[in-house]
Structure 1
C-alpha cells in the first residue's frame, strides 16, 4: 500500500508539474535567491519522489495515512476470510446432514446479511480513505508548487523539471535539497497557522 500511495502521489505531482505555469498565481516572494544555492544556469531538476518521501508532511501525516489504510485492508481481508469460512462450514454441515434445510437457509440468510453489511461498511471506509488520500496528495502538490515558486521567485530558472524524466544530467542542476527545505519550511508555517 505504501508503494501505491506513494506512486499515486508521485504521478499526480508529475502531471501537475506539466501544467501551464503561466496560469499559476504570482510567485511567492521569499528569501533572497542566495538562500537557495542550488542549480546553475537556466535549467534545474527536482527529484520529486525524494522530496515527497523525505518531507515532514509525508513523515508526519503520510505514514499515518498509510498505516491507517493498511490496517483497514487487513481488517477487510480478515472479515472476508471469516465470512467465507463460516459459509463453507455451513455448506459442509448441510451436506453431511447435520442441520435441517430450514436451519441452513436461516443461517445462510444471516451470513448474507452480514456480508451485505460488511460490504457497505467497507465501501464507506474505502471512500473515506480515498478522500483522505486525495486531500493529502493535493496538500503535497500545493507545498511542492509553492516551494518551487519561492525558489524560482527571481525567475533565474527558465525550466525546472522532474528528475524522473531525466536520462542524464549534471548534478549541479539538482535543486532537490533546496526544494525539500522549502517544502518543510512551508509545511511548518502551514501547521503553525492552522493551530491559531
Structure 2
C-alpha cells in the first residue's frame, strides 16, 4: 500500500511539473505584450527637458532667442570693459600730469554720461529679453500641457498619473512617453504656426 501511494504521489508531482512549465514565447509576442503593458499602465513619465530641447519650437525660435541673449550679454560686458578702460586711462593721464584738471573733469563727466546712457540702454534691452524669454517659456509650457492633455484624453483618462522624469530615481522604460509627447508638441506647434499665417 505504501508503494502504491508513493508511486501515485510521484506521478502526480510529475504531471504537475509538466503542466506548470510555460511554453516559450517568440520575441515578437513578448515585445507586443510589453507595449500593451505601457499602454494600459496607470502611470507614465515624460523627460520634459528633452521634449523642450528637441521640439521644433526650440529649434526654430528658442535657439535664436538664446543666441540673441548671449550676444546681448557679451555686448554689455564689452561696453562695460571699454568704459572702465577709458576711465582708467583718463585717471592715469591725470596722475602723470598729461592733462589739466579742467580737461580731466570734462572728460570724466563725458564718461559718466556715457556710462549712465549705457546702463539705461542695457536695462531696457535686458527687460525686453526677459519678456521674450518669459513669453517663449509660457508658449513651450502651453504646448507641453496641451500635448499631454491630447495624449491622455480629455474625458477618458489613459493615465492616472504623469510625472516629470527629473523627479524620478528609477522607473521602467516602458512607462516613458517622451517620444509620444514630443511628436504631439511638434504637431501642435505646426498647427499653431499654420493658424498664425492665416
Q: TM-score by structure 2 length?
A: 0.79
In the aligned structure 1, how far is the partner of 2:190 from the partner of 2:113?
A: 48
Aligned twin of 2:168:
166
Aligned twin of 1:179:
181
Structure 1 residue ranges (4+ consecutive) displaced by more than 3 angstroms after TM superposition? 37-40
Alignment of structure 1 residues 14-163 onto 2, 5 Å: 39-153=39-153, 154-163=156-165
In the aligned structure 1, how far is the partner of 2:128 from the partner of 2:109?
A: 29
More helix per residue: 1 or 2?
Answer: 2
In the aligned structure 2, how far is the partner of 1:64 from the partner of 1:40?
A: 40
Structure exhibiting the larger radius of gyration computed from Cα positions: 2
In the aligned structure 2, how far is the partner of 1:61 from the partner of 1:46?
A: 22
Q: Is the Cα contact below 8 Å between 1:46 and 1:174 reproduced in 2? A: yes
In the aligned structure 1, how far is the partner of 2:84 from the partner of 2:40?
A: 61
Q: Is the Cα contact below 8 Å between 1:44 and 1:160 reproduced in 2? A: yes
In the aligned structure 2, how far is the partner of 1:40 from the partner of 1:68?
A: 44
Q: Is the Cα contact below 8 Å between 2:40 and 2:158 reproduced in 1? A: no
Residues 112-162 of structure 1: CA deviation (Å, up to 9, x unaligned): 000000000000000000000000000000000000000000301000000
Name stretches of at least 5 consecutive residues in structure 1 with no aligned partner. 1-36
Measure how far apart 1:39 and its partner are.
4.6
Distance 1:94 1:188, change over 3 A: same
User: What is the alpha-carbon root mean square deviation over aligned residues?
Assistant: 1.3
In the aligned structure 2, how far is the partner of 1:185 from the partner of 1:156?
A: 20
Residues 45-91 of structure 1: CA deviation (Å, up to 9, x unaligned): 00001000100000110000000001101100110010000000000
In the aligned structure 2, how far is the partner of 1:173 from the partner of 1:145?
A: 18
- Residue 75 of structure 1 aligns to a residue whose secondary structure is helix
In the aligned structure 2, how far is the partner of 1:103 from the partner of 1:60?
A: 52
Q: Is the Cα contact below 8 Å between 1:39 and 1:174 reproduced in 2? A: no
Q: Is the Cα contact below 8 Å between 2:148 and 2:181 reproduced in 1? A: yes
Structure 2 residue 189 is the aligned partner of structure 1 residue 190: no
- Residue 77 of structure 1 aligns to a residue whose secondary structure is helix
